[in-house]
Amino acid sequence: MPIKVQKDLPARAILERENIFIMDEDRALSQDIRPLEILILNLMPIKEDTETQLLRALSNTPLQVDCTFLMLETHTSKNTSASHLNKFYVYFRDVKKKKYDGMIITGAPVELMDYEEVNYWEELKTIMEWSKSHVTSTLHICWGAQAGLYYHYGIPKYEREKKLSGIYRHKVLDRKVPLVRSMDDYIMAPHSRYTEVRREDIETHPQLVILAESEEAGVFLVMSRDGKQVFVQGHPEYDRMTLNNEYHRDLKKGLNPDVPCNYYENNDPFGVPVLNWRNAATTLYTNWLNYYVYQVTPYILEEENGNN
């Protein structure tokens, strides 16, 4: 089944060229089926790229998915036009009375700041608290995963000696858990971060389970045992060229970045990167939508009355 998007969202044209089934609002209204309502809090600076990546990741499922993009009132994006945000995004005040089947909280380029120093931390805390009663399951990505683990469980993040950038191999620890069902024993996934959460801190919380980790990149996939909170300390949704673009951007800034690990053929930063994580990413998002959203969400999503 397709992803439902607004008619002129730029990501639509890109995905249609990839032969991904996209449906606009008019056609969706003619179908006698309730789509899954997914709220996406997009904290990434170049929002159009993240929109395309996440819609692609959510598209490989037999379920119809209706995505709403959320932006923050306490932060102004410098890399995405106001016209794009005003046309395709909503504020929390616009949706806080609604309930959603699923929610995605993306990463953000604020890793080296303490959480309390981030100018939108209070608003993000409000949204994460709201999600516990208004969202069936929430998936957190990279810094979003670190922030979620900190807010919900008090788990700290630590600065690494240098940036972790590249494609890393992760061991799947319990393939019987539905979130990693059908995955291989080892899966590949991109990382791009300066900080990390650690196994020993996660293990102090018996309500959490670690489902995949890497010797080099550390913990990758964590889930609350009730499936309501999923934390991905990486970027499985990344495109083939995303790490390449980040590397050459930092190179032009004079930051002297390391070449992303396990990424380029023959480690040549001017070659075409090898795409070897798409199947694992698709399986992860499909399993999340099926087992932790669709299978447990109520058929009728209620909207609250009053001013809460």
Task: Catalytic residue, from 142, 152, 191, 213: name it.
Answer: 142
Distance CA 17, CA 78 (A): 28
Distance CA 141, CA 230 (A): 9
Task: Catalytic residue, from 134, 140, 191, 235: name it.
Answer: 235
Phi, psi of 221 (to 5 degrees): -130, 125
Question: What is the residue-wise DSSP string for the chain?
Answer: -PEE--TT-HHHHHHHHTT--EE-HHHHHTSSSPPEEEEEE---SSHHHHHHHHHHHHHSSSS-EEEEEEE-SS---SSS-HHHHHHHEEEHHHHTTS-EEEEEE---S-TTS-GGGSTTHHHHHHHHHHHHHHEEEEEEETHHHHHHHHHHH----EEEEEEEEEEEEEEES-TTSGGGTT--SEEEEEEEEEEE--HHHHTT-TTEEEEEEETTTEEEEEEETTSSEEEESS-TT--TTHHHHHHHHHHHTT--PPPPBTTBGGG-TTSPBP---HHHHHHHHHHIIIIIIITTS-SS-----S--
Q: Is 261 a catalytic residue?
A: no
Q: Is 111 a catalytic residue?
A: no
Query: Which residues lie closer than 8 Å to 83 by C-beta, 6 or more apart?
Result: none
b/e map 29-49, b = 16+ CB within 10 Å: eeeeeebbbbbbbbbbeebbb
Q: Is 75 a catalytic residue?
A: no
What would the two tokens of residue 58 be? 């959510």
Residues catalogued as catalytic? 142, 235, 237
